[in-house]
Amino acid sequence: MPNVFAFLSYVVVASFTPGPNNIMSMANASRHGFRRSVRFTLGVCAGFFLIVGLSITFTIALYRVIPAIKPAMTVIGAAYILWLAWKTATSSPHDDTSAGQTSFTAGLLLQFLNPKAILYGITAASTFIVPYYHSTAAFVGFAAALALVSLAATSCWALFGSVFKRFMAENHRAVGLVMGALLVYCAVSLFL
């Protein structure tokens, strides 16, 4: 039986702390409003469900392969996060070119380039799920539950962005630079 408190603590901390999903959700909502950011957060949820499902399915094989693919995934993920940082820092509050960042597809694809999501899925699967549960129904249930927690986290960050939309629009340059810097920190922290 897994330690439920440890599992829940890990899930809450990993889901609600700053990362590409949460920062992009907040940026999208502050720029385009909460309703327009919902597509992105739903994409994050769907992508996260897939990542957790794949992590559960392939957790044993990934442990053998991770040392070989981790450096490449880290570089690819960091490059994508840096691109997001650039777009976040340089766009204006009413920049229509950033509208693609609010799409369902953008949220979904971010998960496959988001090292935090991938490592989160692998850690949850290998530490708390696969050693204790063996049915497909349990695996699908855990993937769905973790995806819903991800949806809650990104929605909270998006709500924060939309509540402070006016402040963020009036200070868009500073806010964009801060959010861009947070994304740069996310990218750099992958190598620390």
Render pLDDT for 147-189 as a digit per residue (tens, 0 to 9): 999 999 999 989 988 887 778 778 878 877 887 787 787 677 7
pLDDT at 66 over 80: no
pLDDT bracket for residue 99 (50, 70, 90) = very low
Q: For the chain, what is the domain count?
A: 1
Render pLDDT for 27-64 as a digit per residue (tens, 0 to 9): 888 888 899 899 999 999 999 999 999 988 877 566 56
pLDDT at 95 over 70: no
pTM for this structure? 0.71
The per-residue DSSP string of the chain comes to ---HHHHHHHHHHHHHS--HHHHHHHHHHHHH-HHHHHHHHHHHHHHHHHHHHHHHHHHHHHHHHHHHHHHHHHHHHHHHHHHHHHHHHH--TT-GGGGGGGSHHHHHHHHHT-HHHHHHHHHHIIIIITTT---HHHHHHHHHHHHHHHHHHHHHHHHHHHHTHHHHHHTHHHHHHHHHHHHHHHHHHTT-
Residues of the domain holding 147: 4-189
